[in-house]
Amino acid sequence: MKQLLSFFLLSVTFIGALAQAPAGYYNQSPTLTGAALKTALKNIISNGHVDHGYGGLWTGYATTDRDYFYENDGTILDIYSENPNGPDDYNFILGTNQCGSNGYANEGDCYNREHVIPQSLFNSASPMVADIHFIRATDGKVNGMRSNYPFGVVGATSFISKNGSKLGTSVSPGYSGTVFEPIDAFKGDIARMFFYFVTRYEGQLPNFTTGDMLGNTAFPGLQPWALNQYLAWNIMDPVSPEEIARNNASYTYQGNRNPFIDHPEYVAQIWGSPVIDNQAPTAATNVVANNPTSNSVAVSWTAATDNVGVTSYQVYANGTLKANVSGATTSTIVSGLAPLTQYTFYVIAKDAFGNSSPQSTTATATTLDIPAGGGSCGTEDFEMITGAANTYLTANWTNNGISWTATDARVDQTINNKAITIRNGSLTSSTLSSGIQNLTLTTQLKFSGNAGYFNVFVNDVNVGTIPYSNVVTTTTINNINVSGNVVIKLTNSSTSNRVALDDLSWACFGTLGTAETQKDKSEFTIYPNPVRNNELFVKGENLSKISKADIYDLSGKLIETIANPFKHSNKINLKGTVKGTYILKTDNFSTKFIVD
């Protein structure tokens, strides 16, 4: 403890010793505002700026990007992996974990130089390419995922880093493309880096590419949507001690300062205040729940309204959040539900400023039994998959009596809890004895890439396709109608898209497609039900003439076949059954029973 305290005090002393802004540094007229103040600051922070070159950033990070504020251990303070409220998943040691020629396949491999304003926008020209004020030491993998996208608020997510930074579809008002969203603790840092850049380089902006965020004139210097978003972030996340220390260290290293850290009031004096939306959307209405299966229900509603715009809807089942959908969408299939269960659904509308509507009207539906009446007789929720994170491998697992193989797959992505993510590979089942009538699957494109589809094969015959995009989508292929033994295989249409699959289910077809069937007018009954002591009794006419009895579980897996089952008695001694629901199929009838 004494060593840790001494280290902390030494760190604070070191930070405090770094240079502060000299007296008179900001020598502009106090009456200036707007574009005039911005230009005056540009002249101040351009003077004294020393370009140490792109390679010099590694040296600069020794004082600018060290953690003396969270873990206080001197590791790299990485805004893409830092957890301000608990232990970090990993840490980078200065120099030791610096990215080199080997690249970075996984989070935590190494740190590199992240241009918050992408260097492609200014053709990697100097001095911008080496300006430490907007180039942070960050995780190489997450830096690559952020790519050249603008910073904004994410709705539908395609990637989430270990500290919660997100990539996905923008819900920032005025922009609908792909954006990257840092965690709340660093949103103000990002905003003030942008304000620095468009001030320091305002004269060059007309020659830069906008990247959908920069303006092409000196004032205001940012696209309207980006300016309003970053003004809001600047207020939401005020200047922190970490930023002040970094600004001081950057001044010592580079000879100029970020004025919006030294004087946060300059932001409003130049650009004014952000458009703040405190008005919540209205409640969605006319919620309808229909088309239940054994594990899903279709939910639709009439759109909510908002003074700016609804950006997303949250769909709840029995008080639990089950789905997030885009504000342009007013329906979804809620999956991952339990069979024979009543659910009450309601919807909450959200806008880009995080305002939530009142709860909508409600609708109630009950999921179906398995496999009765169009319900599902087979499911796979991928909760049994295992393997190393951030690795593409061949995964094998067994669930509900079915064996699965996924090739070129990773196991660390999620939709509804665990999901299997396929790249240039396939997902294949073991042989099912139940036939297949229809198939339902939930998909989402992860990381980068384009929309595409999975080919669905039953016994090597293509029976349809399942689309995917970066929005979570549930799709059903109907009228497959293949009886007998079947093998399900799903293959990606792309060799590079990484697509998560979840909540796979299918309805049986043929002999197991209904709960009760009879071939003649004779009544057959089973007792006791639930079965105890592994003894199942059958009552009916001409039992001795039945040549075969098959026992299946609800996945369609054949558990036992008994020849001439009632030749000597009306009792079947069950083997290989545990607690659960099963199907007894004979020459004359098919029925369900429960083993207690």
Neighbour count for residue 50 (Cβ, 10 Å):
11
* pLDDT score at 373: 36
Extract the tokens encoding 503: 């909540």
Average pLDDT, rounded, for the chain: 87
Taking the C-alpha atoms of residue 269 and residue 251, their distance in angstroms, rounded to an integer, is: 23
Other CB atoms within a 10 A radius of the CB of residue 16 amount to 10
- Does residue 375 have a pLDDT over 80? no
pLDDT value at 459 more than 50:
yes
State residue 211's pLDDT score.
95
**pLDDT tens for each residue of 18-29:** 457 889 999 988
Q: How many residues does the chain have?
A: 596
DSSP summary character for residue 256:
-
Judged against a pLDDT cut of 90, whether residue 394 lies above it is answered with: yes
Q: Which is nearest to 489 in space by CA: 497, 393, 294, 480?
A: 480
The predicted pLDDT at position 7 comes to 34
Q: Is the pLDDT of residue 457 over 90?
A: yes
Mean per-residue pLDDT for 72-97? Answer: 95
Question: Is residue 590 scored above 80 in pLDDT?
Answer: no
Per residue in 87-100, pLDDT (tens digit) is 999 999 999 999 98
Within 8 A by CB and 6+ apart from 414, the residues are 500, 502
Q: DSSP assignment of 3-44, as one string?
A: HHHHHHHHHHHHHHHSPPPPTTSS-S-TT--HHHHHHHHHHH
Which helix (H) or strand (E) covers residue 476, if one does? strand 473-477
The residues with which 331 forms a beta bridge, in sequence order, are 300
8 A C-beta contact, residue 167 and residue 149: yes
Is the confidence at residue 514, as pLDDT, over 50? no
Find tokens 């001439």 and name the residue: 564
pLDDT at 343 over 90: yes
Percent of the chain scoring above 90 in pLDDT: 58
Average pLDDT over residues 321-341: 85
Q: What is the mean pLDDT of residues 79-83?
A: 96
pLDDT digit string, tens, across residues 546-559: 888 888 776 556 78
Q: What pLDDT shows up at residue 5?
A: 32
Q: What does the pLDDT read at residue 483?
A: 80
Give the mean model confidence (pLDDT) for residues 256-271: 97
- Residue 523's CB is within 10 A of a number of other CB atoms, namely 10
Of the candidate ranges 275-289, 306-320, 376-390, the one whose mean pLDDT is the lowest = 376-390
For the segment 173-192, the average pLDDT, to the nearest whole number, is 94
What CA–CA distance (Å, rounded) separates 490 from 501?
Answer: 10
- The DSSP call for residue 72 is -
The pLDDT value recorded for residue 338 is 83
Token code pair at residue 331: 């329906």
Bond from prior residue into 220 cis (ω within 30 degrees of 0): yes
Cα–Cα distances (Å) from 325 to 164, 174, 328, 386, 471, in that order, read: 19, 19, 8, 29, 8
pLDDT at 14 over 70: no
Residue 513 has pLDDT above 70, yes or no: no
**pLDDT value at position 540?**
83
The pTM for the full model equals 0.55
Q: Which residues touch 177 (CB under 8 Å, ≥6 apart)?
A: 149, 150, 169, 170, 212
Least confident span in 238-247, 364-373, 527-536: 364-373
Residue 584 above 50 pLDDT? yes
Which residues have a Cβ under 8 Å from the Cβ of 66 and sit 6 or more positions away? 74, 75, 76, 77, 94
Domains and CATH numbers, the chain: 2-152+180-271 (no CATH), 285-366 (2.60.40.10), 378-507 (2.60.120.260), 517-595 (2.60.40)
Query: Lowest mean pLDDT: which of 89-98, 289-298, 458-467?
Result: 289-298
Mean pLDDT of 64-85: 95
Indicate the SS3 state at residue 170. Answer: strand
Mean pLDDT value of segment 358-385: 77
For the chain, state the CA radius of gyration.
31
**Where is pLDDT greater, at 289 or 2?**
289
